[in-house]
Structure 1
Amino acid sequence: MGYTHLSITERSKLEVLYGLGWSSRAIGAELGRHHSVIARERKRGSRGNTYRAETAQIAYSERREGSKSPGRFTAELAG
């Protein structure tokens, strides 16, 4: 069983269900994810008590870009 990142669709559903007052366990069951994934995502993507899918997706993209290695290729090697 492999790990996959949350998609923008899943984040949007999480935003709606969280806004309706659903628990992390109920949202996890609805999305087919473990409740701890939902809780961590809410913690990472929230500003105050508000979770926004678009803001969380942007934050994810920024974290993802920062985690990638720049590689060994340089302009000097191309040269």
Structure 2
Amino acid sequence: MSYIHLTIEKRSQIEVLRKEGYSVRRIASLIGVHHSTVARELNRVEGEYSAIKAQQLAISKSANKGRPTKLTPQLAALIESRLQQTWSP
């Protein structure tokens, strides 16, 4: 099973179809995704769903993924100074 991130186009389709009163399952079948994907997407934004707000939230969450770095400026300076000492002729 593969997972595809929603594009701004799909989010816009969800927004329009939801405003027209379509059910979550009907929207999912029309845009070709699972109904739980649409339900999660609609819950992503508080209040009335907005494709632009949802896209901004997705981008900001994506930017914060991964393990935080342990490399501080002090540690970087220490490593650099030790490397220079090791590689100096």
Query: For this structure pair, what is the TM-score category when the shorter chain's length is used for normalisation?
Result: 0.7 to 0.9
Mean alpha-carbon deviation: is it higher for 18-27 or for 64-73? 64-73
Aligned to 2:55: 57
**Quick one: distance in 2 between partners of 1:14 and 1:41?**
9
Scaled by the length of structure 1, what TM-score is found?
0.83
Residue identity over aligned pairs, in percent, reads: 38
Scaled by the length of structure 2, what TM-score is found?
0.74
Instruction: Point out the structure with max Rg over C-alpha.
Output: 2
Aligned to 1:22: 22
- What do you get for the CA RMSD once the two structures are aligned? 1.9
SS of 2:64's equivalent? helix
Equivalenced residue count is 77
Seen in structure 2, the aligned counterparts of structure 1 residues 73 and 4 have a Cα distance that, compared at 3 Å, is farther
Aligned to 1:32: 32
Question: RCO (CA 8 Å, sep 6+): is it higher in 1 or 2?
Answer: 1
Structure richer in strand, relative to its length: 1
Structure 1 residues without counterparts, runs of 5 or longer: none
4+ residue segments displaced more than 4 Å: 70-75
